[in-house]
Amino acid sequence: MIVFEHVGKRYGGRFEALANLDFRVRRGEMVFLTGHSGAGKSSLLRLIMRLERPSRGRILVAGHDIARLHASQVPFYRRQIGVVFQDHQLLFDRSIYHNVALPLEIRGIEPREAARRVRAALDKVGLLHRERALPIELSGGEQQRVGIARAVVNKPALLLADEPTGNLDPQLSADIMALFEDFNRIGTTVMIASHDLALIARLRHRTLRLREGRLVADEEAA
């Protein structure tokens, strides 16, 4: 699903955020990405989302060299990826329902079909009863679940998450991770950047460990 071949990323010609990354993630895998803040986790995710291009090497996603995508194709590429952000990135001027419906609206899905999928996604994250609420009325954990519902409503083949449990207490974090495992179980490839080592250790999935932009460990699930 994801192939990194000698990928490096420099910013401003000097600072080396990522160096010589080589790994592949199979379709249907669930992978954690760990390391201290500044180790390059976010940079790596940004490369996969094609928010940036690698300075060196090649990244293949679903068989396509994504650096070669024309600017006009990038939106269509991103529609195949669900992304969950640490700070949720919800739109505060519209209801939970409309936040989750946004990717479908962008794709031009017919409203009745969209409603069905939005409700299914909200049901999955346990927030169907809050569809009319505004994001501000929800707790941090609930907001994160809305973010997850928005990321999966498109049924993406690849789900990326950047510190999805960053601000949550351990119980809520475990709930969120269980959700990701559910999506992985139905075939979605999942990649989660997190520095919550205790939680990761408990979940037993493959873990890529970054330090100062280099891949220092690639541990298969025990």
Rule CB under 8 A: which residues touch another protein? 49, 51, 72, 75-79, 83, 89, 91, 93, 102-103, 105-111, 150
Q: How far is the CB of 195 from another protein (least distance, A)?
A: 19
Return the number of the residue (173 or 188) whose C-beta is nearest another protein: 188
In the complex with another protein, the residue whose CB is nearer, 91 or 217, is 91
For residue 211, give Cα distances in angstroms to 8, 40, 196: 14, 8, 15
* Count of residues in the chain: 222
CB nearer to another protein: give 105 or 218.
105
Rounded to an integer, what distance in angstroms lies between the CA atom of residue 124 and that of residue 213? 35
Min separation Cβ 32 and another protein, Å = 22
Burial 185-222 (b: 16+ CB within 10 A, else e): eeebbbbbbbbbeebbeebebbbbbbeebbbeeeeeee
- Residue 80 or 139: the one with the smaller Cβ distance to another protein is 80
To another protein, the closest distance from the beta carbon of 61 in angstroms equals 14
- Cβ of residue 113: shortest distance to another protein, in angstroms? 10
**The dihedral formed by the CA atoms of 182, 188, 190 and 196, expressed in degrees to the nearest 10:** 0
Amino acid identity for residue 150 in this structure:
R
Query: Could you tell me which residues come within 8 angstroms of residue 67 by beta carbon, excluding any fewer than 6 positions away?
Result: 53, 54, 58, 59
Least Cβ distance, residue 81 to another protein (angstroms): 8
Nearer Cβ to another protein (115/199): 115
Of 70 and 129, the one with the shorter C-beta distance to another protein is: 70
Q: How far is the CB of 221 from another protein (least distance, A)?
A: 30
Task: Return the structure tokens found at 43.
Answer: 């940079």
Q: Which residues pair with 218 in a beta bridge?
A: 208
Separation of alpha carbons 133 and 137, rounded Å: 6
